Structure 1
C-alpha cells in the first residue's frame, strides 16, 4: 500500500514538473513572439517616418524651385558667409 502511494506521489511530482516546464517554455515563446512583433512595428514606424521626411524634402525642393523661378535669388559670396 505504501509502495503504491509512493509511486503515485512520484508520478504526480514528475507530471507536475513536466507540465511546469512545458508551460514556462510556451510562455517564453509567446513573450519572444510579442517582442518580435514590437520590433516589426518599430521598423514600420521608422520606414513611415523616413518616407514622410522624403516627401517633405521633395515638396520643399519643389517650392524652392518655384520661388527661384518667380524671384531672383543671389548666391551668397564667400565673404558674406564668413561674416555670418
Structure 2
C-alpha cells in the first residue's frame, strides 16, 4: 500500500471516529438537558401542588369561620326541592 493510501485511510478513520464521538457526545448533552427539564417540571409541579394545598386549607379555614359567624341553612338539592 502506498504512503498516500495509508495517509488517506488513517485520515478517514480518524475523521470517522471523531464524527461518531461528536455525535454521541451531542446526544448525551441533549439527553442531560432533557432530563434537567423533567426535574424542573417535577419541582414546578410540586410547588404548584403545595400552593394549591395551602389555598385549600385557607379556604376550609375561612369556610369554618364563616359558618361559625353566619347561620347556614341546609339546602335540599333532591327532587321536589321546588326548583323548576
Same fold (TM over 0.5): yes
Taking the aligned partners of 2:2 and 2:8, their CA distance within structure 1 comes to: 10
User: C-alpha root-mean-square deviation of aligned residues, in Å?
Assistant: 1.6
Which segments of 5 or more consecutive residues in structure 2 lack a partner in the other structure? none
In structure 2, distance between residues paired with 1:83 and 1:58: 32
Runs of 4+ in 1 over 6 A off after TM superposition: none
Of Structure 1 and Structure 2, the greater helix share is in 1
- In the TM superposition, what whole-angstrom CA distance separates every residue of 1:48-77 from its partner, at most 9, and x where no partner exists? 111111100000000000001111101102
| Equivalences, count | 82
Unaligned runs of 5+ in 1: none
C-alpha distance in 2 between matches for 1:28 and 1:5: 34
